[in-house]
A and B are shown apart, each in its own frame.
Chain A
Amino acid sequence: MTSKNSHRHLLGIEGMPETEIVDLLDLGDSYLERYRGAAPIEQVLQGRTQINLFFEDSTRTRTSFELAGKRLGANVINMTVSSSSIKKGETLIDTAMTLNAMRPDVLVIRHSAAGAAALLAQKVDCAVINAGDGRHEHPTQALLDALTIRRRKGRIAGLIVAICGDIMHSRVARSNIHLLNTLGAQVRVVAPPTLLPAQIERLGVSAHNDMREGLKDADIVMMLRLQTERMEGAFVPSTREYFQFYGLDADKLAYAKDDALTMHPGPMNRGVEIDTSVADDIDRSAIREQVELGVAVRMACLDALCCQGSNSRGGS
């Protein structure tokens, strides 16, 4: 079976060949250059329909995908399936099959259950992009993170990347682990033991409970949000204890390299996982770039999936 990401869908980074990842990064790069330079962008999705099917609330990711599609000329439709629709009993599959009958070209789906995007992809005729499925993967986030790193550092191979925070519940962490490992980075995860998933080392990372140790000589410090809405029980005693031991402040950041970059997929909980001054430090923080690159990377993904075979590089 060909990579689940080649030709039809972008469901996850796990298993994606390095060449495919690099191609998407290169394409994202060129889209970024295009619209930063206010150059015209070839409307490769002219006449195509993109439906953003979000079962989980997310203004930022949805807007990012919407902008990406519109910049390429697509008709973009947003569907936020509120919990009341689910209460009416329509299942994920029913919703998808209904939409499928309207013949979209691409479905972008975000859902709270792992595997939802893959399930959908089995049942619809169009391309499917996973915008986040439970704790499983968020491939476009990892791609934009990688592009951010590559642009700032010139490479990914050999860098020490520390991913810090609620690893257990994080799809951003999982996608990033797969991608960074594939591109040759050295990946660490830093979290209290209650927020590390079982056997996480088997995914090719070293696990740390001591943040100072975990950040030592790191080139990239990637902070994750403490995801209170995904926690049922008490994983950490309080946000203030969490901030003291696992929050990124100047003191802990000093253990990383002097030119280490700080990143965060957003939205940030200032004072919980990241100190406000660290977040706003324009020299070290790449957080705003991540947002900007997000649109470019999503343009690349939409282009690659919808225009398979055609050699679009964002215009002449």
Chain B
Amino acid sequence: MSAGRRVAYVNARLLDPATGFDEQGALLTVGGEIAELGASLFADGVPDGTKVVDCAGACLSPGLIDVHVFLGEALETTALAAAAGGVTTIVVQPDMDPVLDQVAMVDYMNRRGLEAPINVHAMAAATKAFAGEQMTEIGMLTEAGALAFTDSRKPIADANVLRRLLTYASTYNALIVQHVEEPSLARDGCANEGEVATRLGLPDIPPAAEVIMLERDIRLVELAGGKYHAAQLSTAAAFEAVRKAKSAGLPITCGTTPAHFALNELAIEEYRTFAKISPPLRSEDDRKATVEAIADGTVDVIVSAHDPHDEDSKRLPFTLAAPGIVGLETMLPLALEIHHGGHAPLLRVLGAMTCGPADLLGLPAGRLREHAPADLVIFDPDTPRRLDSALLHSKAKNSPFDGRPVQGEVVLTVVGGESVFERGE
């Protein structure tokens, strides 16, 4: 990208959740940065030498930042899927083969990321090989660019190990991210405990497995210090615990995924493996509590937990199928449902996908501000359509949302000032 290339985005509804700004106007990027924005910008026209993109009244927001993505297929197709979903930054999980727990691997990931059209970062493992025993080289990994530390799909189960991690990580201001599920209660369960699992004869997990571990972890944060993030919460009780912890001033944050606020446990009926995820889909009451938690700001980030799986790993009996959903391209329209349904203002919903994740991990993007990276998404928030898995840009199509009517579509995605996706591609 030639430094100094000027692009003017006009006739846009500018949305900056970080400042609460929501007005018609224009935005100018110069090179890879945002230069200027405002309601009156280019009111008298755009000078020569500046490329003009007419947004035709569509929304222009910071590009989405997705901090929970599994690299289950090639980075190329994942990046395509991200761009198509308006996601300009992804943070990949260390759940790779081998586990991302070494400095050299973070370096490699960062270098590969440079070749991608979108921004790619990584979290590193919290314990070596996810064994849950020895901590990884938090200091050196942080210096190498790891944005946080997590054992990914596995909870850090031993209280003493987690305590030590929190204590040690605080020196480097590193964030510990936990898969919140008490493993001895979850065991081989694959569905939410209750009538649906009982009828289907599926081994189940009590919803309390989530809050039980969360409350333990909150006490550990009190004891040890450090910053803690609950990766994907899905139950009313857990959100309540987060509210309490936040009002006590503890550095506890949390995320959730579209599946958890858009679907409930009924979605697994007839053993639909595309609806098998971890944590499992919950009762309707818990689903509603998840929506409320996004609306009242308890949820800091919405993530896709994008987890590509080929047909073979899903075309199995439910207990044997791999859990996970592809979500990069469906995150935005599904999140917009919360707004269209009248549960939360647009800026709140967008904030959980832009400044929320940016602030969580200390990234400069996620806001419309002078000198911020020119990572933008222009989207039409209203036009109705049906999600069609066949049109997904990822190689894997394991989504339970095929055919779902939604409103909201990405028109253009811009990373570092360059267009990386245009509707119709």
Contacts and interface: CB of A to CB of B under 8 A. Distances in A.
Interface of A: 14, 91-93, 111, 113-116, 118-119, 133-137, 171, 174, 197-200, 202-203, 232-233
Contacts of A232: 187-188
Interface string B170-185: 0000000000000000
Top 3 nearest A-B pairs (CB, nearest first) are A113-B317, A135-B201, A136-B201
A115 B204 contact: no
A171 B200 CA distance: 10
A114 B321 CA distance: 12
A115 B200 contact: yes
Contacts of B315: 91, 93, 119
A111 B203 CA distance: 15
Contact of B271 (A14, A92, A114, A203): A114
A118 B199 contact: no
Interface in B193-223: 193-195, 197-204, 206
B318 A115 contact: yes
A167 to B, nearest CB: 9
Interface in B255-294: 270-271
B168 to A, nearest CB: 34
A198 B271 contact: no
B53 interface: no
A135 to B, nearest CB: 3
A93 B315 CA distance: 8
A237 to B, nearest CB: 18
Given A115-B271, A119-B271, A203-B198, A198 B204 contact: yes
Contacts of B188: 232
B201 A202 contact: no
Contacts of B195: 198-199, 202-203
Contact of B270 (A91, A113, A118, A135): A118
A118 B197 CA distance: 16
A85 B198 CA distance: 30
B97 interface: no
26 contacts: A91-B316, A92-B316, A92-B317, A93-B316, A113-B318, A113-B320, A114-B201, A114-B271, A114-B318, A114-B319, A115-B200, A115-B271, A116-B317, A119-B271, A133-B317, A134-B201, A135-B201, A136-B200, A174-B201, A198-B195, A200-B198, A202-B198, A203-B195, A203-B198, A203-B199, A232-B187
Contacts of A136: 200-201
Contacts of A203: 195, 198-199
A167 B183 CA distance: 24
Among B188, B200, B204, the most chain A Cβ lie within 10 Å of the Cβ of B200
A57 B188 CA distance: 22
Contacts of A199: 194-195, 198
A137 B201 contact: yes
Given A136-B200, A232-B188, A198 B312 contact: no
